[in-house]
Structure 1
Amino acid sequence: MTLATDQQPEREGFSPTSLQFLSMRDAVMDHWEREVRAQVAGASDLLGPVLTNTLPAFYDNIAEALSPGHPRENATSDTNAASAHGGERARMTPYGPDQVIHEYQLLRAAIAAVAQERLTLGPSDWTIIDDSIDEAMRQAIRAFTRSHDELRRKVAAALSHDMRTPLSVVLTGAQLIGIAPSMDIARNTASKIAANAVRLRDMMGDLLDTLTYHGDASIPLDLSQFDVFELVKELRDQYCQSREGTLDFEAVGEAVVGFWDRGSMHRALENLVNNAVKYGDGGKIKIKACETRGRLMLSVHNDGRPIPPDQHDRIFEYLRREGGSPAAAGWGIGLPFVKMVAQSHGGTVAVDSSGATGTTFLIDIPVDCRPFVGGGEGQLPG
């Protein structure tokens, strides 16, 4: 079974070109970050983990596609990582679509600049790289736009509901003043009108703030410092003991100490393992934790039936369960909860699934989430 790059510490089956390409990832990302901060509007104030986003995983996917015979045709095949990138850009940055596109263009230039000194890439290699970046741009922009459209719909629905009461008071009060039998009643009614007018004004202010903030739903977090790999091993032991050795469960990776909400991270990881148990066809379940460029990459892999590409984004919607498996009981809130936990920590969750590689869910969040919780919005302190 070929695995997604995140789950392949030994890089088995990679071509020499792919291995060289992987070896220059940090140099490419350093070059890219310098250029993005210098050229992309709104990027200079972003903290490193937010700026990096899901791009290291995307870069690794390009490396896979550069290996002849690997089932990944380009970096966007069988994964929604690019969509996750666009959604996080909408939530965590002041970007517009132009800035998202500009970042990908600079990534292409960074690869070319570093490769010029360290690696010879042929025309077929560049075709894969160009196709990967072009398709990633399209997917990221679609997700970026969709995120803002969803926010506008939510705001419009909330606005139409919450404004009914103060508007009703204003309208009724104006009618009462016209027929008020005394000045005292008119003054009392006018006072109610004024109070509800202030309430409407505040609602409009909240509306404008919401429309100018690129955010989404979040959950309250109680951040503390801990080693996430200890959490991974704890969960592995919990499942292996409860199933009396019937579950093939592997925990790999490294100690990653950061600031997260331990309770919500435990539940999110538990949901992903439950999902792997349900749909993994009895095969091995593998959890991996590692750190790259200030980001935690926490993944859960199973070898079961792949998720169709057109479902990669839909499976994260509330109350949706695809397929007719009798084991898939519940209300379809597990994966949406995982998504909300990742987003609340200032990151995202992506899925990579195909018949050749199995299914990997990746929680990709900052190692230190404190600047991104409670209004930090991923920017450097002024």
Structure 2
Amino acid sequence: MARSKRPHNCRHRPASDGISMILATDQNADGHPLSAKAGSFLAMRSAVMTRWEREVRARVEGANDLLTPALTNMLPAFYDNIAEALSPGHPRRDGTSNTNAAAVHGGERARMTPFGPEQIIHEYQILRECIAAEAAATVELTAVDWAVIDRSLNHAMREAVREFAAIQDDLRRKVAAALSHDMRTPLAVVANGAQLIQIAPDMDMARRAATKIESSALRLGEMMGELLDALTGNAGDAMMLELSRFDIRDLVREVCAGYAHASSTLVESTSESVIGHWSRNAMRRALENLVNNAATYGDGQGVGLSAKAAHGRVLLSVRNTGNPIGKDRLGSLFEQSSREGGSHAKGGWGIGLPFVKQVAESHGGSVAVDSSQETGTTFLIDVPIDCRPFAGPATT
């Protein structure tokens, strides 16, 4: 494994002010600064997202019942990507280039909201309206700029809806498998019991058959309840989480410090103080998995680990430079089948990534990846600051 020649220490850099601080994917670290116009566009993100949330709650069915972190989801990161695409010469062509964030957004909509495809499309349309409204008094966007914005929104809508449909199809397959397998036995008991009642020579035998039918019917009812819970809850398996309140900056520094003694790869941390409720052990393991991958598959020039808050969520990013992950692998990177093989130079990014996805989703969040030759590879864990209303089975 290629290792950095620099001293094996851990460097903590204070979170900087200004434009570079709020970029969700930290992709400006390698000499791709934003233009003045893109900076102005980025500066109005908070106003755009505030207006967007208000409009979506008023106009999109089911949105008003969602807490803010679940509603905003990956959209702040997507907005930042559009800002990069507005900078002439930046390698990001539009807001969906080199990232699966839009697909992740659609997946979370399928897992955690009552939205359908129509609501997903509507929320992106409202985002365009809000950008136009805020830009009218803030930044002059040309026809070329709007072409980038519209292309970003259109691509994001397609990717989000496609992933939403894929998750729904997968859920239907799981439901069909459960119906065909788990319910087969009690249905057989009901059928056999009914036949026994028809030929029962006495009332005692008929009562025993009726008791079995009743028991199996109750069991079927419980199974239907479990299936309904699966349909209305997370599509993935939730982890048991031991939740506690802590500062995510302390955890980032703890993970970073662990590599000061165990590896010659320089791991730098840039973190805000963000106090919230998460599973410390699960989040630590997820970050360690991502840092290990970044050190293993990067080019030895160090790993960047950061945490920052945005609209009720904490964004944890792990970044490295080196060969990018192939576009054909982005969609399946976090699946168990991605563990073996793959087109990456060192044999595949799959080890540990299914676990990272499970941790993020069990906290009511998501994980995304952004990878290109020009900007390196960034893994982004995006979870609510207070995950208690969103997490799976948990203890506090």
CA contact (8 A) 2:238 2:392 kept: no
**How far did residue 189 of structure 1 move?**
2.2
Looking at structure 1, the residues matched to 232 and 353 of structure 2 have their Cα atoms a distance apart, in angstroms, of 28
- Selected match of 2:335 from 306, 309, 317: 317
Looking at structure 2, the residues matched to 121 and 167 of structure 1 have their Cα atoms a distance apart, in angstroms, of 64
Q: What secondary structure, in the 3-state scheme, does the structure 1 residue paired with 2:25 have?
A: helix
* Structure 2 partner of 1:356: 374
**How far did residue 187 of structure 1 move?**
1.9
* Structure 2 partner of 1:106: 126
- Range with greater deviation from structure 2 (77-86 or 275-284): 275-284
Verify: 1:167 aligned to 2:187, yes or no: yes
Counterpart amino acid of residue 343 in structure 1: E
- List gaps (5 residues or longer) in structure 2: 1-19
Matches within 5 A, 1:176-325: 176-213=196-233, 215-243=235-263, 246-321=264-339, 322-323=341-342
1:257-277: CA deviation from partner (whole Å, max 9, x where unpaired): 110011111111111111112
Counterpart amino acid of residue 284 in structure 1: G
- Selected match of 1:37 from 28, 32, 57: 57
Looking at structure 2, the residues matched to 327 and 356 of structure 1 have their Cα atoms a distance apart, in angstroms, of 19
Counterpart amino acid of residue 297 in structure 2: Y
Matches within 5 A, 1:113-128: 113-128=133-148
Verify: 1:74 aligned to 2:74, yes or no: no
* Structure 1 partner of 2:7: none
* Structure 1 partner of 2:42: 22
Looking at structure 2, the residues matched to 328 and 27 of structure 1 have their Cα atoms a distance apart, in angstroms, of 44
Return closer, same or farther for 1:325/1:70 CA change in 2, 3 Å cut-off. Answer: closer
Counterpart amino acid of residue 69 in structure 1: G
CA contact (8 A) 1:224 1:261 kept: yes
Q: What secondary structure, in the 3-state scheme, does the structure 1 residue paired with 2:389 have?
A: helix
- Range with greater deviation from structure 2 (45-54 or 132-141): 45-54
Runs of 4+ in 1 over 6 A off after TM superposition: 324-327
**How far did residue 205 of structure 1 move?**
3.8
Return closer, same or farther for 1:93/1:319 CA change in 2, 3 Å cut-off. Answer: same
Looking at structure 1, the residues matched to 39 and 217 of structure 2 have their Cα atoms a distance apart, in angstroms, of 65
**How far did residue 316 of structure 1 move?**
0.8
**How far did residue 204 of structure 1 move?**
2.8
Verify: 1:139 aligned to 2:139, yes or no: no
Name which structure has the greater RCO, CA cutoff 8 Å, separation 6+. Answer: 2
**How far did residue 371 of structure 1 move?**
1.3
* Structure 1 partner of 2:117: 97
**How far did residue 185 of structure 1 move?**
2.7
- Selected match of 1:54 from 74, 80, 100: 74
**How far did residue 279 of structure 1 move?**
0.9
Verify: 1:346 aligned to 2:364, yes or no: yes
CA contact (8 A) 2:363 2:392 kept: no
Q: What secondary structure, in the 3-state scheme, does the structure 2 residue paired with 1:89 have?
A: helix
Return closer, same or farther for 1:351/1:325 CA change in 2, 3 Å cut-off. Answer: closer
- List gaps (5 residues or longer) in structure 1: 377-382
**How far did residue 34 of structure 1 move?**
1.2
- Range with greater deviation from structure 2 (47-56 or 202-211): 202-211
Quote the sequence identity (%). Answer: 57
Looking at structure 2, the residues matched to 74 and 9 of structure 1 have their Cα atoms a distance apart, in angstroms, of 15
Looking at structure 2, the residues matched to 265 and 256 of structure 1 have their Cα atoms a distance apart, in angstroms, of 14
Looking at structure 2, the residues matched to 336 and 277 of structure 1 have their Cα atoms a distance apart, in angstroms, of 18
Tell me how large the CA RMSD over aligned residues is: 2.3
CA contact (8 A) 2:82 2:152 kept: yes
Looking at structure 1, the residues matched to 151 and 229 of structure 2 have their Cα atoms a distance apart, in angstroms, of 38
- Range with greater deviation from structure 2 (189-198 or 342-351): 189-198
Looking at structure 1, the residues matched to 26 and 62 of structure 2 have their Cα atoms a distance apart, in angstroms, of 33
Looking at structure 2, the residues matched to 291 and 303 of structure 1 have their Cα atoms a distance apart, in angstroms, of 24
Counterpart amino acid of residue 31 in structure 1: R
CA contact (8 A) 1:223 1:260 kept: yes
Counterpart amino acid of residue 65 in structure 1: A
**How far did residue 353 of structure 1 move?**
0.3
